[in-house]
Structure 1
């Protein structure tokens, strides 16, 4: 049975928008993109490489898929994370993309997200990683489908932008199972949902 793992960069105030590039996602007039890069150090790089290379599959939304598909197939295949990303099954949630996705081992899912996630979990051994994909991730949270959160919390406040947990999120409890701190001040916290009592 697969383990659905959300691996997310977020600011101290929960913003997860446009992490790597100024032009990644300017929706809503967001003009503070690229905020992760000044804090990337060896601890962050090692953690992300391990999370990626150690995954059995990836589940992403359309925007994240298009960003990744434009980059990862052309990256250095000698890098274990690159090789893993290109080889693993990639499940894409989109209402606009067709079935013929250009990146190897990519499959567009059907419209019933709950059923598709249950199918993927039952067919996968190991981690099914969700990277970025804010809209999809909020839908997965609403379905109570996330088994683990690996959150990289960066020491800055952005004040506005798309948040991982928005005002529509149903209250829930999480259990902290691991923490690491990078030399640049990034807190890497792993949480698992606590079943309701």
Structure 2
């Protein structure tokens, strides 16, 4: 059975915004490897539209290997987008979800293959509330943003997690790997 891995960036004050953080070479390499070891990535509309930026680096590489490698990884991984407003994705490797989130994820988990990566705050919150997250990877950036969306502001019930491991970057960012404790 495939695992659902929720991977997200957050500041020390809990702000979860893809436009803040310390996106250095180490972090891009980390996420490139994570994507390369995953079979599909799930996005909500807002994050998906932010991620479309990487298509520009496919057409015109930046010359920065770590940026271009990440662009290639994000371009090739299949993406499923959950949106009530998009009519098409505009990206060859992306499709609109055919079912609601719960049905889609349960069906994906039953398939063989690489893990399911989730990179959108809204989708992560919904999956936590549905008890469908198997691993949580939170990259905490050593900064206070002061404003923006909080990652955990819409969680319904208490969930206990067990720390599996950590990974520290030269920037001071740290990835915490957690697994829910299922009782």
Q: Normalising to structure 1: TM-score of the pair?
A: 0.80
1:95 maps to 2:95: no
Counting only pairs closer than 5 Å after superposition, residues 17-28 of structure 1 correspond to structure 2 as: 17=17, 19-20=18-19
Partner of 1:117: 105
Q: Normalising to structure 2: TM-score of the pair?
A: 0.85
Structure 1 runs, 4 residues or longer, greater than 4 Å off: 77-80
Partner of 1:75: 57
Partner of 1:147: 134
Q: How many residues align?
A: 176
Match for residue 165 of structure 2 among 175, 178, 181: 178
Does the C-alpha gap of structure 1 residues 153 and 169 become closer, same or farther in structure 2, counting only changes over 3 Å? farther
Partner of 2:145: 158
Q: How far apart, CA to CA, are the structure 2 residues paired with 1:136 and 1:114?
A: 10
Does the C-alpha gap of structure 1 residues 169 and 156 become closer, same or farther in structure 2, counting only changes over 3 Å? farther
Instruction: Give the CA deviation at 1:166.
Output: 1.1
Q: How far apart, CA to CA, are the structure 1 residues paired with 2:178 and 2:76?
A: 27
Question: Over aligned residues, Cα RMSD in angstroms?
Answer: 2.0
Q: How far apart, CA to CA, are the structure 2 residues paired with 1:58 and 1:49?
A: 12
Unaligned runs of 5+ in 1: 21-34
Instruction: Give the CA deviation at 1:80.
Output: 4.3
1:45 maps to 2:28: yes
Unaligned runs of 5+ in 2: none
Instruction: Give the CA deviation at 1:167.
Output: 4.9
